[in-house]
Amino acid sequence: MSNPLLSFDGLPPFSKIKPEQVEPAIDHLLDHNRKLVEQLINSNAKPSWDNFVQVLEDADDRLNRVWSPISHMNSVVNSDELRDAYNACLPKLSEYGTEMGQNENLFKAYDSIKKDQTEFNKLSTAQKKIIENALLDFKLSGFDLHDDKKKRFKDIQQQLSKLTTKYEENVLDATRAWNKHVTDDTLLKGLPDSAIAMAKQTAEQKQLDGWLFTLDFPSYYAVMSYADDREFRFEMYEAYVTRASDQGPNKGEFDNSAVMEEIIALRDESAKLLGFDNYAERSLARKMAETPEQVITFLNELADKSHAMAEKDFQELKDYAHEHHLQTEFEPWDATYYSEKLREHKYSINQETLKPYFPETRVIPGMFEVVNKLYGIEITQVDGVDSWHKDVNFYEIKDQSGQLRGQFYLDLYAREHKRGGAWMDDCMGRSVHKDGSSQIPVAYLTCNLSPPIGDQPALFTHNEVTTLFHEFGHGLHHMLTKIDYIGVSGINGVAWDAVELPSQFMENWCWEKDALKLITGHFETGETLPDDLFAKMYAAKNFQSGMQMVRQLELGLFDIKLHAEYQPKQGARIQETLDAVREKVAVVKAAAFNRFQHGFTHIFAGGYAAGYYSYMWAEVLSADAFAKFEENGIFDQQTGNDFLQNILEKGGSQEPMELFIAFRGREPEIEALLRHSGIAA
Cα gap 3→305, rounded to integer Å: 57
Q: Is the pTM of this model over 0.75?
A: yes
- Which residues, at least 6 apart from 226, have a Cβ–Cβ distance to it below 8 Å? 190, 191, 192, 195, 337, 340, 352
291 contacts 281 by C-beta, under 8 angstroms:
yes
Q: What is the pLDDT of residue 437?
A: 85
65 contacts 17 by C-beta, under 8 angstroms:
no
Q: What is the DSSP letter of 327?
A: -
Q: What is the pLDDT of residue 16?
A: 97
What one-letter code names the amino acid at 245? S
pLDDT digits (tens, 9 = 90+) for 401-424: 999 999 999 999 999 899 999 999
Q: What is the pLDDT of residue 680?
A: 66
State the SS3 of 123-174.
CCHHHHHHHHHHHHHHHHCCCCCCHHHHHHHHHHHHHHHHHHHHHHHHHHHH
pLDDT digits (tens, 9 = 90+) for 102-137: 999 999 999 999 999 999 999 999 999 999 999 999
**Cβ–Cβ contacts within 10 Å for residue 243, how many?**
27
What is the β-pairing status of strands 404-413 and 211-214?
Answer: unpaired
Question: Is position 99 annotated as part of the catalytic site?
Answer: no
CATH 1.10.1370.10 domain locations along the chain: 257-349+545-612
CA 646 to each of CA 43, 478, 524, 658: distance values in angstroms, whole numbers, following the listed order: 39, 14, 41, 9
Domain covering 4-101+103-140 in this structure, CATH number: 1.20.1050.40
Q: What is the pLDDT of residue 147?
A: 95
Alpha carbon 564 to chain centroid, angstroms: 23
CATH architecture of 356-536: Orthogonal Bundle (1.10)
Q: What is the pLDDT of residue 623?
A: 97
Question: Among residues 9, 60, 61, which one has the least CA distance to residue 34?
Answer: 60
Radius of gyration of the chain, Cα coordinates, nearest whole angstrom: 25
560 contacts 613 by C-beta, under 8 angstroms:
yes
Cα gap 561→268, rounded to integer Å: 12
Catalytic member of 168, 464, 471, 512: 471
Cα gap 96→623, rounded to integer Å: 40
CATH architecture of 257-349+545-612: Orthogonal Bundle (1.10)
Alpha carbon 415 to chain centroid, angstroms: 18
Cα gap 313→546, rounded to integer Å: 7
- Which residues, at least 6 apart from 679, have a Cβ–Cβ distance to it below 8 Å? 305, 306, 309, 545, 546, 549
Backbone angles phi, psi at 52, to 5 degrees: -135, -70
Q: b/e string for 202-220 if b means 16 or more Cβ within 10 A?
A: bbeeeeeeebbbbbbbbbb
Q: What is the pLDDT of residue 311?
A: 97
- Which residues, at least 6 apart from 267, have a Cβ–Cβ distance to it below 8 Å? 160, 279, 282, 563, 609
Q: H-helix or E-strand containing 236?
A: helix 230-241
Mean pLDDT by 10 residues, the chain (681 residues): 91 98 98 98 95 96 97 97 97 96 96 96 98 97 95 97 98 97 97 96 97 97 98 98 97 97 98 98 96 98 95 98 96 98 95 94 98 98 98 97 97 94 97 88 97 95 97 98 97 95 98 98 97 95 96 98 97 98 97 98 96 96 97 98 98 97 96 88 47
Q: What is the pLDDT of residue 1?
A: 59
Q: What is the pLDDT of residue 87?
A: 96
Cα gap 13→507, rounded to integer Å: 33
State the SS3 of 627-664.
HHHHHHCCCCHHHHHHHHHHHHCCCCCCCHHHHHHHHH
